[in-house]
Structure 1
Amino acid sequence: MFHKIDATVLFVQDLSKSIEFYRDTLELSLVFQDAGSATFKMENQYILLLAPSTATNLLSDEANPVKIEGSARFLLATGVENVDATYETLKSRGVTFLKPPISQPWGLRTAHFTDPEGNIWEINQSIEEN
């Protein structure tokens, strides 16, 4: 039934600060922006940022209101060429990490950080066996 995810939508309270983070810190390509949203592209995946009022107008009606409050409920994972180098680059740009790079028993080297809204990201790379 489902074959791929085309877009991930993040609900953000401070749209301007989030746009700055995704555009300037993570260097994602901004492809659309208006007063209540922003769209970034990563190869064949879109990351959309929606302000609460835009999300409410888009996703709900009076009978079925959408609640946008709460903490992170999922994790976005992305592969990188070198976790340690990416970690150092993002740290130098002020990114706050939850966990520094660590080799996991399931064959990935990972590190975890949050965006300004508390959404959790994982950067990872495959650990090659020697």
Structure 2
Amino acid sequence: MNISEYIKDTYGTMYYVTDMQKAASYYKNLFNLSPEEESPGWTTFNLNGHRICLHATEGDHSVSHNGVLITNVSQLENVVAELKNRGVEFVKDITEVCEGGYSADFVDPSGNVLSLFEYKG
């Protein structure tokens, strides 16, 4: 299976934040943009097709100092199964993250998190 055939494009880069209001205000002022989406748990800013995504931390999830690349994929279940067969370590199995949207997160050898996302509408 050639995984690249299932990757449609990148959605954006996600940053975990401890204070959504403060973080959203910072990015509003930094880019002089209004949010594309805005809620207490998730806020996005569209930078000419690439999104800066702010995700409020939950529970014991620590704030990463690296961004998380989010890729839009088709057939998320098949992609995850293939990557697991190759020994890829997933830190979050397929989870519904919004109505009709599912993601799974894995780490590279250095511990950087990458996220696969599929919107099934």
TM-score using structure 1 length: 0.43
Q: Using CA pairs below 8 Å that are at least 6 residues apart, which structure has the higher relative contact order?
A: 2
TM-score using structure 2 length: 0.46
